[in-house]
Structure formats: structure tokens, C-alpha cells
Amino acid sequence: MDIPVRSKTNGLNLTPLIDIVFLLLIFFLLTTHFIEEDGIGVRLPSAASVTTRDRNEVAVAITREGELFVEGRRLELAALEDQLRTIVKDDTTVIIRGDRDVSLQLAVSVMETAKKAGAQRLVVATLQEGD
């Protein structure tokens, strides 16, 4: 007498689902553009409208004490133009991230230096009112 062989399935096969989830995770990790903020402690001024970030940009941070930072490196105002000349291209936007307590003269000097270095677009970073 032959006994019929039964295969027991206790549940669904989740292997294809896990494969799809991992593929989606890898896809989103590779295609997502993360916004990098510099680690310089600057309290930005507030404004009613805020512009979005661009991919081709250089941030110049000005601290409350008047120190200048480009890409996390501390610079003097005299060396800023040379540093920006090596970084700035035709479509690069220079973002001035000045502390709200920085003197206006220093901010204007940084803007003039960026223009001399070849920057076509200057943006002053602000926080949206209410933030």
C-alpha cells in the first residue's frame, strides 16, 4: 500500500519579497541626493522666502567672531579670493552663510571677493521665518 506523500507548507515564501525590498532600498540609497550642511555654528538671519540649494555651489561661512570658512577650512579674507578661484566655475553659486550678528561690512567684503574670484551668482543663506 502506497502512502501519498504530502508536502507541508506552513506559510508564504517571503524570499522574493525580501529581495524586492532590498533592491528598492539600494535604488533609493544610490539615487538620493543628501544635502550637506557645513558644521560651522552660524545662526542664520530669517526671511519670508527661502531659496533651494543647487548642486554646483560653494558655501562661505562667516561666524559671529568674523572667521571665514570655505568647505570647512578656516581662511583669512586675503586668502579667500585665491581659494574661491580654484573652486568656482561658470555655473557655481556662492552661498554666504553669515551669522546674523556679523557686521555688514565683512559680508560685503566677502561678496566682493567672491565676485572678483569669478562667481556669477551670490546667495545669502537665510532661515524661513518661524523656524
pLDDT in tens, 44-78: 666 655 555 556 788 888 988 888 998 888 989 88
Parallel, antiparallel or unpaired: strands 93-98 and 57-62: parallel
Q: What's the pLDDT at 126?
A: 76
Q: What's the pLDDT at 22?
A: 95
pLDDT in tens, 86-107: 888 877 888 888 888 888 888 8
Is 75 a domain residue?
yes
Q: How much is the average pLDDT of 30-48? A: 66
Q: What's the pLDDT at 18?
A: 93
The CATH number given to whatever domain includes residue 78 is 3.30.420.270
DSSP 103: -
Q: Model confidence at 23, in pLDDT bands (50, 70, 90)?
A: very high
Whole-number average pLDDT of the chain:
80
Cβ pair 97, 42 in contact under 8 A: yes
Q: What's the pLDDT at 103?
A: 86
Is 60 a domain residue?
yes
Question: How many structural domains compose the chain?
Answer: 1
Is 122 a domain residue?
yes
Is 11 a domain residue?
no
Four-CA torsion 54, 48, 128, 126, nearest 10 degrees: 60
Is 70 a domain residue?
yes
Is 72 a domain residue?
yes
Please report, rounded to a whole number, the percentage of residues in the chain having pLDDT higher than 70. Answer: 73
Q: 54 is in which domain, residue-wise?
A: 46-128
